[in-house]
Amino acid sequence: MVNSKTFSREAKAFLKQNYPIYPATGIASTILGTFAALVLIPDNPYPAGALFPSGLAMTIGLAFAPALAAFQNIKVLLRAEHILILSPIYWLLLDLLQSAYDLRGVDTEDIENAFIAIGLFACGVWTASLFSLWKPPKMLIKSARRTITTKQTFLLILFFFFLGFFYYAYSANFDFPRMFYALGENRWSAPWARGQLGGWNAFVFHMRYFGYLVPVLTASLWVKSDDKKNSKIIISILLSIVMLAFLGQGGGRRIVGGILTATFINWFVQQNKIDFRRVLVSIVSIVLIASLLQLILVYRNVGYSAIFSNQVEVTSPDYVHVDDNFLRLSQTIDIVPSQHSYVYEKFVFWALVRPIPRVFWPGKPTDPGFSLADTLGAGNVSYTMTVIGNFYISFGWLAIIVGGWFYGKLAGMTSTLLALDPPERKRSANSLVYSLSVMALFVGMRSLIGLVLSSYTLLAWLLISSFLSKQNTRKLQDR
Question: 253-268 vs 430-444: helix axis angle to the nearest 10?
Answer: 140
Average pLDDT of 276-291? 90
Question: What are the tens digits of pLDDT across the range 398-421?
Answer: 999 999 999 999 999 999 998 887
Please report which residue ranges of 104-230 form alpha helices under DSSP H.
Answer: 108-129, 138-145, 150-171, 176-182, 201-206, 208-211, 213-224
pTM: 0.93
Higher pLDDT, 16 or 24: 24
Is there a contact between 62 and 30 (Cβ–Cβ < 8 Å)?
A: yes
Higher pLDDT, 343 or 191: 343
Instruction: Give the pLDDT band of residue 471 (cuts 50, 70, 90).
Output: low
Higher pLDDT, 114 or 479: 114
Q: Which of 67-71, 124-128, 381-385, 431-435 has the lowest mean pLDDT?
A: 381-385
Per-residue pLDDT at 302 exceeds 90: no
Mean of the per-residue pLDDT values of the chain: 89
H or E element at residue 103? none
Question: What per-residue confidence (pLDDT) applies to 422?
Answer: 66
Of 55-59, 97-101, 359-363, 368-372, give the range with the top mean pLDDT.
55-59
Question: What per-residue confidence (pLDDT) applies to 370?
Answer: 94
Question: What per-residue confidence (pLDDT) applies to 126?
Answer: 98
Identify the CA nearest to 240 among candidates 341, 316, 161. Answer: 161
Question: What are the tens digits of pLDDT across the range 320-371?
Answer: 888 899 999 999 999 999 999 999 999 999 998 887 777 778 888 888 999 9
Distance CA 290, CA 274 (A): 22
Question: What per-residue confidence (pLDDT) applies to 415?
Answer: 95
Question: What per-residue confidence (pLDDT) applies to 474?
Answer: 53
Per-residue pLDDT at 2 exceeds 60: no
